[in-house]
Structure 1
Amino acid sequence: MAHRQPELIHTIPPPVMIPPKKTIAIVGSAGRLGAYLADALEKEHNVIRLARPQIDLADLGSVERALQPLAYDLLVITGALTAVDYCETHADEAYAINAEAPGKIAAISAAKGAHVTFISTDMVHDGDKPEPYTEEDTPNPISVYGASKLKGEELVLAASSANLVVRISWVFGPGKPAFPEWIINTACAKADVTLPGNKIACPTSCEDLTELVMPLLFGVNGPASGVFNLCNSTPCTWREWGQLCIDTARGAGLPVLAGEIVGVPVNSVPAFVAKRPVNSAMSTDKYTALTGIRPRDWQVATRDFLLGSELFASHRSLAEAV
């Protein structure tokens, strides 16, 4: 699939360190983001892929056994328990995987002198702010998932002030299906589709995220530290994102039955057990100020992904076979 690079907002980009070959551990390398990131890093570095059964984030003993024998320069934690509603009713498991395990990983890594990047979430915020959240805004999670990820952030940064937290939102891309695939399959199966029309966030392409995180890992002064928001540009509602997905599908010839998606309040969705922040859009101005790079708009990133996706290819193959 052809992929456009993130847009540079400066005529002359800031200097980027050409990093010497590093050994980088990816915890959660079987997931969508972890796998894509590992593949990208492997082109220039030694990558240690860690996923079950090699490491079980619900078992601190497993974490220690997996990491203690290893030597690495950088470690990225992409693994997490991300099922928001499951977390709400399984708080102990959520905190074990999303907080205690990252804290243990960070402590082991600090003893090795290794830098840790922890992938976190927009759901550390309560959603009451009308504007996009910055890194300076005080988190106030309203779900077990958000609270467990915030605790993970705190433990990772407490282990070493050099560590990095990257908050992301609404991730999609190659690998297991995410929201774009789900909404298109739904729209191809029935004419009446509803989505929250007041829930606002920023979709994040895992392909773009992989490219965008590189300047944070390999900056001229070494890896970045502290908290950074990282997502595609400009907020949208869940309904707007879904509408763009099905309009793109229809334009590509997929058998879409649904027309205009009907917006509903996010807190009225019967399937939701956990509360969702109404607005969890995030500003990436801090990232742009450091790197000179402005992430692509979510519409462009979503269309690019869909037009080259296996979902579109499979629908086209079925249509041609009829």
Structure 2
Amino acid sequence: MKILLTGNTGQVGYELERSLQGLGEIVAVDRTRMDLANLDQVREVIRAVRPQLIVNPAAYTAVDKAESEPELAYRVNAEAPALMAAEARALGAALVHYSTDYVFDGQSPEARVETDPVAPLNVYGASKLAGEQAIAASGVPHLIFRTSWVYGMRGKNFLLTMLRLAKERGELRIVDDQHGAPTWSRTIADTTALILAQARAGGAGWWSENGGIYHLSSQGRTTWCGFTAAILEEAGIACKLVAITTDQYPLPAARPRYSALDSNRLQERFVRLPAWRDALRLCLR
């Protein structure tokens, strides 16, 4: 099986290039070779590689910046995945794509299941939802994994920012009224690889029986302040932590207050997922 992997220098893409080893021939491309903002280039690369599977973790993820450049966010997060889906279907290939907890409005304190109504609060979430809908409408065999609060030891993410700021400052003021599940990029990659191994063993009918949207996030939930407290404790860094409200830290893009995802559907069908604190400990180790 030939696998086209996008965004291999990003948090999730880097881990996927490692985790997918052994499942097939991996053709990994970064933004210089396949820029999702350049739809002609996306089409050209897919037609040149002719993969049996496209795995697309690449995305526009600048949540606040998306408010001021929605056209670019939609091109990368909606139009490019739609094009990938169309090209994959023409090749008889399948598509794995990643989405976000931000497709929900976060009004309910309950963890969201895949069939709950979607109502994104910001451009980023709306663009990711449009990508989901385009893939589903294309008829291509697909898996869409919604995940949340992604972090890792490379790139730009909350974990690395907190580690840096805690060493530079004596005090951190962190939002404590937004709830979700921090998810290690390696958890996402390893889970994807385990599921795709099942798909390879499952034969031709596997995708029609198992395709669709799944929630893929670590188990449990916390707040950004609680996540920070765990980071400092696990890293052994002493720093004063002050809990604040969302209103005390205004940003251009609105965030859902409750964006925990219920991953039971994925766990019942495929594989168990770790508790967020256990994954954080392994990541820092």
Task: Specify the TM-score bucket, using the shorter chain as the normaliser.
Answer: over 0.9
- Aligned counterparts, 1:211-222, within 5 A: 211-219=190-198, 220-221=201-202, 222=206
1:233 to 2:213 alignment: no
My pick for the range that moved more, 196-205 or 222-231, is: 222-231
Alignment of 1:38-77 (within 5 A): 38-77=17-56
Match of 1:104 in 2: 83
CA displacement at 1:204 relative to structure 2: 0.7
CA contact 1:157–1:164 (8 Å) conserved in 2: no
2:233 equivalent in structure 1: 247
Distance 1:161 1:129, change over 3 A: farther
Equivalent residue, structure 2, for 1:142? 121
| TM-score, reference length from structure 2 | 0.93
Counting only pairs closer than 5 Å after superposition, residues 195-210 of structure 1 correspond to structure 2 as 195-210=174-189
What are the equivalent positions in structure 2 for 1:1-322 lying under 5 Å apart? 22-160=1-139, 162-219=141-198, 220-221=201-202, 222-223=206-207, 224-250=210-236, 254=237, 256=238, 258-259=239-240, 261-270=241-250, 272-291=251-270, 293-307=271-285
What does the per-residue CA deviation read over 1:111-140, in whole Å, with 9 as the maximum and x for residues that have no partner? Answer: 001000111111000000110000010111
Report % sequence identity: 29
Tell me how far 1:61 sits from its aligned partner. Answer: 1.0
The residue type paired with residue 171 of structure 1 is: V
CA deviation after TM superposition for structure 1 residue 294, in Å: 2.2
Range with greater deviation from structure 2 (161-170 or 136-145): 161-170
Query: Displacement, 1:177?
Result: 4.2
Task: Please identify the structure whose Cα radius of gyration is greater.
Answer: 1
1:82-135 CA distances to partner (integer Å, 9 max, x unpaired)? 000011110000000100011011100110010001111110000001100000
Amino acid at match of 2:212: G
Q: CA separation in 2, counterparts of 1:76 and 1:178? A: 21
Greater Cα offset, 295-304 or 146-155: 295-304
Equivalent-residue separation in structure 2 for 1:299 and 1:214 (angstroms): 22
Q: Is the 8 A contact 2:93 2:141 kept in 1?
A: no
CA contact (8 A) 1:267 1:275 kept: no
| Unmatched 5+ stretches in structure 2 | none
User: Cα–Cα, structure 1 residues 177 and 57, in superposed 2: closer, same or farther, change >3 Å?
Assistant: closer
Distance 1:176 1:304 in 2: 18
Aligned residues: CA RMSD? 1.4
What is the CA-CA distance between 1:267 and the residue it aligns to? Answer: 3.7
How far apart in 2 are the matches of 1:111 and 1:210?
Answer: 26
- In structure 1, stretches of 5+ residues that fail to align are 1-21, 308-322
Report the CA distance between 1:161 and its aligned residue: 5.2
Letter of the 1:210 partner, please give it.
A
- Corresponding pairs, count: 278
Q: Distance in 1 between matches of 2:140 and 2:118?
A: 18
Q: Answer whether contact 1:196 1:237 (CA < 8 A) is retained.
A: yes
- Distance in 1 between the 2:24 and 2:246 partners? 43
